[in-house]
Amino acid sequence: MKDKRKNIKLWGIALGGVILVITVAWIFAVRLEGGKPSIVLDLKSPYLNGSQTLSATVTDENTGVRRVWIGLVKDGKEAVLFQKDWPGGGLLRGGQVHRESFTIEIEPKKFGLTDGKAILRMVVRDYSWRGWGHGNRTYIEKDVTIDTVSPDINILTRVHNISPGGSGLVIFRVSEPCPQSGVFVGEDFFPGHSGYFKNPNIITAFFALKHSQGPGVEMFVSAADYAGNKARAGFPHYLKAKAFKNDMIAVPDRFLNWKMPEFDVEMRSDSTTSMLDKFLKVNQDLRRANYLQIIGFTGKTANEIYWKGAFLRLPNSARKAGYADHRKYTYQGRVIDQQVHLGIDLASVAHSPVPAANVGKVVFAGSIGIYGKTVIIDHGLGLFSMYSHLSGFEVREGQSVTKAQIIGRTGSTGLAAGDHLHFSMLVHHEFVNPVEWWDAAWIKNNITGKLDAVKALN
């Protein structure tokens, strides 16, 4: 009996020893883990300006985050941007924090750091027992450039005459490469393009006025360098007043019964929706959606000028409606809607061949709601021509076209009451008056003359 109790005691001691060894081994296995902590900094550019706020996130899923240190080193001088220690959680738990986000304020001049090359240094440690108890370490260095000086803008073109609905061109030089530059007209931004001139810092920017804008609208050139430093400069301009035609368009039941079924797929409705209500949805909602679709195709443009000389209009055609005609639609004698016609309607014989107005590349050939079968051509640097209500087209997307090449034939697709061509031109996202681009003298005075003058000086 005595030996039995002794054996049980020995077995208990042995089992306790095994448990102790397993526990200690487990603790060491956990606390001596070798996974390194991570740090993610939203540094979108290797350039730092005079003041910016960056967000950072540190993570360690194993033993938790112990410490983070972030500094900026320039010419041997070290500026501490951020440092923090997180509390531990005891022998078994390690650190209490496994993930945390924070922000960093970087103001180089506040630390006495001058412009130029620098190093952004980051160190993170966890609560592992590795490194003689100091933890696993993640060390990261990023080469950065401190740039606190805004670019200079030098306007190279002197005369800028523009009318409501008109196009314009500003050429300017920036003192350093700027990934974003262009012209603001009110709230609208028209991006500039580098590459037309040998000097990459000379920027060519086409811009436009809305048909509703006139004297008093603010216009200026804007540029931002890679560090985000911004500059702006005014340029001399003269805004001419311009009046547009008012027109009344009757919407008969005959037209509604003919056209509205074409839009049942695009504008959801049921059998109880009247033809007039369908028309209003098409003329308002679908028109707005179609504009967004169009500027989606004009969002990208060639960084060169394809076109040359005056743009062509539909041969042997009569003008049926003008640019920015203010239209009131009537039904049974009462006004039901108002819209602005952002193109010129040209009519010849039915299914007349439609020539490309100038050299360019087709960016769209398909159907666009109220515009029906449509072709859009990119002429470079943000200038586009658009041909709508076609009965068919003879080009495809991505195809280069020559001036006067036949791209399709007139028709009555979309919201058209008869066979004609709806011709539009756009400067980036803005519909402009095509009449200017048909005029060789206007092009010379306002576009090519400026390009040639600047090229001669550079």
CA distance 224 to 273: 51
- Of 267-281, 350-364, 378-392, the one with minimum mean pLDDT is 267-281
Which is it for the CA torsion 11, 15, 20, 25, positive or negative?
positive
- Selecting from 3.30.470.20, 2.70.70.10, 2.40.10.120, 3.40.462.20, what CATH number does the domain 247-427 have? 2.70.70.10
Q: Is the pLDDT of residue 82 over 80?
A: yes
DSSP H/E element including 145: strand 137-146
Cβ neighbours of residue 47 closer than 8 Å, sequence gap 6 or more: 144, 145, 146, 147, 225, 226, 227, 228
Q: Is the pLDDT of residue 133 over 90?
A: no
Q: Is the pLDDT of residue 23 over 50?
A: no
Written as one string, the DSSP assignment of 347-409 is E-STT-EEE-SSSEEEEEEEEEGGGEEEEEEEEETTEEEEEEEESEES--TT-EE-TT-EEEE
CA distance 339 to 380: 29
| Delimiting residues of CATH 2.70.70.10 domain(s) in the chain | 247-427
| Delimiting residues of CATH 2.60.40.3880 domain(s) in the chain | 38-146
Report the pLDDT value the prediction gives residue 6, as an integer from 0 to 100. Answer: 61
CA distance 205 to 185: 12
Give the closest residue to 142 by CA, choosing from 38, 45, 35: 45
Find out if CATH 1.20.1250.20 is the number for domain 153-241+449-457.
no
Q: Is the pLDDT of residue 174 over 60?
A: yes
Average pLDDT over residues 146-174: 96
56-75 confidence digits (pLDDT tens): 999 998 888 999 999 999 99
Report the pLDDT value the prediction gives residue 24, as an integer from 0 to 100. Answer: 46
Distances (CA, A) of 134 to 73, 124, 254: 24, 11, 85
Q: Is the pLDDT of residue 18 over 60?
A: no
Q: Band the pLDDT of 385: cuts 50, 70, 90.
A: very high
Report the pLDDT value the prediction gives residue 273, as an integer from 0 to 100. Answer: 82
22: amino acid identity, one letter: I
Report the pLDDT value the prediction gives residue 409, as an integer from 0 to 100. Answer: 98
Report the pLDDT value the prediction gives residue 269, as an integer from 0 to 100. Answer: 63
Q: What is the 3-state secondary structure (H, E, C) of 21-69?
A: HHHHHHHHHHHCCCCCCEEEECCCCCEECCCEEEEEEEECCCCCEEEEE
CA atoms within 13 A on the CB side of 241: 1
With b for 16 or more beta-carbon neighbours within 10 A and e for fewer, the 404-430 pattern comes to eeebbbbbbbbbbeebbbbbbbbbbbb
Average pLDDT over residues 191-203: 95
User: CATH topology for 38-146?
Assistant: Immunoglobulin-like (2.60.40)
CA distance 165 to 224: 28
Alpha helices in 147-239 (DSSP H): none
CA distance 174 to 223: 8
What value does the mean pLDDT of the chain take? 91
Q: Is 149 helix (H, G, I), strand (E, B) or coil?
A: coil
Of 26-35, 260-269, 323-332, highest mean pLDDT: 323-332
Report the pLDDT value the prediction gives residue 457, as an integer from 0 to 100. Answer: 84
Q: Is 72 helix (H, G, I), strand (E, B) or coil?
A: strand
CB atoms within 10 A of CB 330: 14
Give the closest residue to 295 by CA, choosing from 431, 169, 396: 431
Cβ neighbours of residue 183 closer than 8 Å, sequence gap 6 or more: 168, 170, 189, 190, 192, 205, 207, 219, 220, 221, 222
Q: Is the pLDDT of residue 11 over 80?
A: no
Kindly state the DSSP code that residue 283 receives in the 8-state scheme.
I
Q: Band the pLDDT of 242: cuts 50, 70, 90.
A: confident
Q: Is the pLDDT of residue 14 over 90?
A: no
- Of 262-271, 287-296, 354-363, 374-383, the one with minimum mean pLDDT is 262-271
85 CB burial (10 A radius; 0-12, 13-18, 19+): exposed
310-323 confidence digits (pLDDT tens): 999 999 999 999 99
224-238 confidence digits (pLDDT tens): 999 999 999 999 999
Return the ∠ at Cα 390 (arms to 387 and 394), rounded to 5°.
85
Find out whether 361 and 399 touch, Cβ atoms under 8 Å: yes
Kindly state the DSSP code that residue 240 receives in the 8-state scheme.
P
Q: Do β-strands 421-427 and 47-48 pair in parallel, antiparallel, or remain unpaired?
A: unpaired
| Delimiting residues of CATH 2.60.40.10 domain(s) in the chain | 153-241+449-457
Instruction: Give the residue with greater pLDDT, 265 vs 222.
Output: 222
pTM: 0.85
Q: Is 420 helix (H, G, I), strand (E, B) or coil?
A: strand
402-458 confidence digits (pLDDT tens): 999 999 999 999 999 999 999 999 999 999 999 999 999 999 999 999 999 999 987
Find out whether 127 and 63 touch, Cβ atoms under 8 Å: yes
